[in-house]
Amino acid sequence: DLVDWRKPLLWQVGYLGEKYDEWVHQPVDRPIRLFHSDFLESLSKTAWYVVFMVWAPVVLYLSWVSYTSLAQGDTRLFSSFTTEYSIPVHKYFFPFIFLLGMFLWSLLEYLIHRFVFHMKPPASNYYLITLHFLLHGQHHKSPFDSSRLVFPPVPASLVIGFFYGVLRLLLPEVLGLSVFVGGLCGYVIYDMMHYYLHYGSPKKGTYLYGLKAYHVKHHFEHQKSGFGISTRFWDHPFRTLIPEETFEKED
């Protein structure tokens, strides 16, 4: 093989150069060790239920905070520009703002998966290859590693905190929090669904069965398309839908 499987792979893959892209998309069914440090290695692995246990209470708490804050009647859109024409945001709007956050997450999920996780790092750049392998390449190399199918809470908190900060800058505080908590719920659903698509056994003909078949095609035949995981919706406008005839042949 091109790497020494007895040693951590993270520091080896950068030397593969132009061979990396082909190598990383040839799946194996074996565990991968990324780091020399046992502590760092433990932070890179997560059981699926940990994501739910960590973030579901956060979603519930922030939803309560958002709703009760909106109920005070102090939140208005465009109030920083004009008080005369500002629009009040009532507590009854919270479910719709929450769903908007989930919808925005689905778009963000697609964009991250396509343009970050599936970037093709320059063959001459050791560090970008290493970063790609850390973010997503190791999942494509070993798609059956159940300990690395969901995002570990420690690095996830940094990314989640970044997006919360962006929304705080763009929207009034409570409104931004309401959109954020909807997006966070969307992320939790995405991570749970991703694990299920790898290890679940949905009934044939169901929505989840179609998504599982779609994701399997993405891993083993169409790595440059099929970037939607929790939904195929965004693959349509971005023209990255996996051709339907590939499924019809198998049926």
- Give the tens place of pLDDT for each residue, 107-164: 999 999 999 999 999 999 999 999 999 999 999 999 989 889 999 998 899 999 999 9
d(CA 116, CA 136): 9
In this prediction, residue 235 has a pLDDT band, given cuts at 50, 70 and 90, of: very high
In this prediction, residue 251 has a pLDDT band, given cuts at 50, 70 and 90, of: low
d(CA 105, CA 163): 11
d(CA 73, CA 94): 12
| pLDDT (0 to 100) of residue 84 | 57
pTM: 0.89
| pLDDT (0 to 100) of residue 249 | 57
Q: Is residue 140 a contact partner of residue 25, using CB atoms and an 8 Å limit?
A: yes
pLDDT at position 18 over 60: yes
Q: At how many degrees (to 10) do helices 48-71 and 173-199 cross?
A: 160
| pLDDT (0 to 100) of residue 74 | 73
3 state SS of 77: strand
d(CA 214, CA 43): 29
In this prediction, residue 7 has a pLDDT band, given cuts at 50, 70 and 90, of: very high
Between 60-64, 144-148, 168-172, the lowest mean confidence (pLDDT) is in 168-172
Torsion (CA) 240, 232, 61, 89 in degrees, nearest 10? 80
pLDDT at position 76 over 70: no
Query: Domain map of the chain by residue range?
Result: 9-235
pLDDT at position 19 over 70: yes
| pLDDT (0 to 100) of residue 243 | 87
**By percentage, how much of the chain surpasses pLDDT 70?**
92
Task: Give me the mean pLDDT over the 32-41 stretch.
Answer: 93
Task: Give me the mean pLDDT over the 200-214 stretch.
Answer: 93
| pLDDT (0 to 100) of residue 244 | 77
Q: What are phi and psi of 77, to 5 degrees?
A: -80, 145
| pLDDT (0 to 100) of residue 70 | 84
Contacts made by residues 65-69, CB under 8 angstroms, sequence distance 24+:
65/177, 66/94, 66/97, 66/98, 66/174, 66/177, 66/178, 66/181, 67/91, 67/94, 69/174, 69/177
Task: Tell me the pLDDT tens digit for each residue of 171-188.
Answer: 877 888 999 999 999 999
Q: What DSSP state is assigned to residue 107? A: H
Among 195, 191, 192, smallest CA distance to 146 is for 195
Q: What is the mean pLDDT of the chain?
A: 90
Q: What are phi and psi of 181, to 5 degrees?
A: -70, -30
Between 1-5, 47-51, 170-174, the lowest mean confidence (pLDDT) is in 170-174
